[in-house]
Amino acid sequence: MARAACIVLLFIAVIRADPTCVTHHETDVVCTAGPTDHILVRGLVSENKKTTGITLRDCRITDVELEAFHHLPALEYIDLSSNKIRRLKLGVLDGFKKLQALNLSYNMLSKFPLGLFDQKPKLRMLDLKGNRFEEFELGVFDPLKKLKHVDLSSNAILGKNLNPYIFGQSRQIQSIDFSRNDMSNTPDLMLAAFENLDFLNLDRCSLNQVPRFATRLNLQTMKHLILSTNKITSLSNPKIFRHLIKLENLNFVANSIEKIHGDIFKPLKNIQLIFLNKNKIKVIPESLFRNLQHLNNVDLSKNRIESVPVNAFRGTNLKILNLSGNRFTYLQDNFYLELWNSGVRLSQFFFDDNPWQCSCLNDVLVEVKKYGILYRGDKYRGQRPVCVTNEFNCKRQSASNDYYSQMYDNTIL
């Protein structure tokens, strides 16, 4: 009987094992998970006036009791990511007013009680990605007047249900990530209070058009706008970006864009990078990028472009141009020389996987080698076909494109 009792006691000890925590430099507490799920209670990481950071990442925590962070006056950072927390009780974050960063990503949270952040006046970073939020109660973020970085990605948010004033008091937000939510029909005033926004991520947000809430006058401080992997089919409103005068990076990768107005990018006087790859573009307007003096990187790969006008790039600072995976069979004679004469100095040029006429491709290869431009040379070492005809002259007529493109599809693809 004594031996059996010992076995039972040992079994119970394993089942109830808490996370193991180690303190580094007397200020940073880092915990690792025990073998079972755990409710965070007072005593594991509390009662230390020197603690500035607590990391409880992937510690199998299912709940956090009210005094779990008791007496931590110097606490600035909490990482509770990758746990199984479904709710945070009102008051659980009270008592330590120096907190600047809170990571709750990859839990099972779906709602915050109003007042949860009332004692967090210095919070600057809030990471909520990978939870189950659909919306937020108006006022819950109001105490966070110094909030700068917010990650709401990979939740179940429906933009149409968000109160337009949910961030009405958080005017200092610099970056916000809504990616992998449904932000279609979001109220136009959603970001109206922002004064210093720099980064906005709307990747995979079920958008059919560039949303108005992302291009407001008060967002003229924004430098990075990500609109990739949506359902945008047209960029036809030449005024849509008129307020984004400081924008530097614009990402439209993997939409369904077919039509682009020639003046759509004209207001973007500071733009440096434009990604339009993986769309359905056939025509590049001759004025599309012209005179964007800071533009240095354009990706138009994997579209359906049938001709490439040199004029579209005049007056830019273009260094990297990607035209691979399109449908043109030739470029303008002395294409790079014409760019050079307009002030463009390419350092990288990618043009592979097009239905090239061999003589037209040869002209381009001669130019990039002559001017020392980086290209994918491994594509042109004779290991596989890269062009469709060995005719001596390059036929630079648009009427020839269909013929050679069809030949490419039949013989190479």
Q: Going from the N-terminus, what domains does the chain have, and what CATH number goes with each?
A: 232-413 (3.80.10.10)
- DSSP H or E run through 62: strand 61-64
Nearest to 200 by CA among 276, 137, 149: 149
Produce one character per residue of 382-398: b if its CB has 16 or more CB atoms within 10 Å, e if not.
eeeebbbbeeeebbeee
Distance CA 69, CA 236 (A): 53
Residue 172 · residue 149 · CB < 8 Å: no
Quick one: how far is CA 75 from the chain centroid? 30
Distance CA 380, CA 377 (A): 6
Using CB atoms within 10 Å of the CB of residue 23, give its burial: 0 to 12 exposed, 13 to 18 middle, 19+ buried: middle
Mean pLDDT by 10 residues, the chain (413 residues): 46 63 95 96 95 98 97 97 98 96 98 97 98 97 98 98 96 98 97 98 98 98 98 97 98 98 98 98 97 98 96 96 97 94 95 95 96 93 86 87 90 77
Report pLDDT digits (tens) over 2-44: 454 444 444 444 455 789 999 999 999 999 999 999 999 999 9
Q: What does the block give as tokens for 224?
A: 């990075």
Quick one: how far is CA 201 from the chain centroid? 5
Q: Please, which residues have CB within 8 angstroms of residue 390's CB and are 6 or more apart in sequence?
A: 358, 359
Q: What is the pTM of this model?
A: 0.93
User: Quick one: pLDDT at residue 381?
Assistant: 86
CB count in 10 Å sphere of residue 290: 20
Nearest to 96 by CA among 40, 130, 54: 54
